[in-house]
Amino acid sequence: MTIFLVYTSLFAMEYHILKINKADAESYGNGMPTEGLRLALGYMISAFENGIGNINPPSLDNWLPKWNNGKAISYTSQIIIFEIYFVWLMNQIVMLIVLLNFMIALISDVYAEITENKTQIILIKK
C-alpha cells in the first residue's frame, strides 16, 4: 500500500505541474487554511480518485485558448496537451497494476491460510 501512496503523490505532483483538473483540485481542498496546502490536497485527492477507478478525464482549460477565433493552438500547447494525456494514462495504468498486484497478494495469502488450516477445519466439522 505504501507503493500506491508514493505513486499517488508522484502523480499528484505531475498534476500540479501540468495543472490537470485545476478546478477539481481547488474544489476538493476548500477546508484547508492555506492555498498551497489546499491545492496539494486537491491534487492528491484527484490523483487518488483516478487511481482507484473514479476516472475523470483531464481538463485542458489552462492550455486551450478561451477564444480561439479560428486560430490553431500553438505548438507548445499541443506538446503540453500530449504530456497531460500521457501522464493521465500512465496514472491509470500504473495504479491499476499496483492495485491488482495488491489484490492478488491478498487473495493468495488468504488461500495459503485456508490450505494450511484445511485439515483442522475438516476435523472440526466432523
pLDDT tens digits, one per residue of 113-125: 888 888 887 878 7
pLDDT of 64 over the 60 cut: yes
Residue among 82, 20, 83, 17 at smallest CA distance from 50: 20
Q: Which pLDDT belongs to residue 31?
A: 62
- Separation between Cα atoms, residue 83 and residue 64, nearest integer Å: 14
Global pTM reads 0.69
pLDDT of residue 33: 61
d(C-alpha 48, C-alpha 45), whole Å: 5
Confidence of residue 109 (pLDDT cuts 50, 70, 90): very high
**Could you list the residue range(s) of the whole structural domain that residue 79 is in?**
2-125
The torsion region of residue 84 among left (phi > 0), alpha (psi -120 to 50) and beta comes to: alpha
Confidence of residue 62 (pLDDT cuts 50, 70, 90): confident
Cβ atoms of 56 and 49 within 8 Å: the answer is yes
pLDDT of residue 98 exceeding 80 = yes
77-96 pLDDT, tens digit per residue, is 788 888 888 988 888 888 88
- pLDDT category of residue 104 using cuts at 50, 70 and 90: very high
**Count of structural domains, the chain:** 1
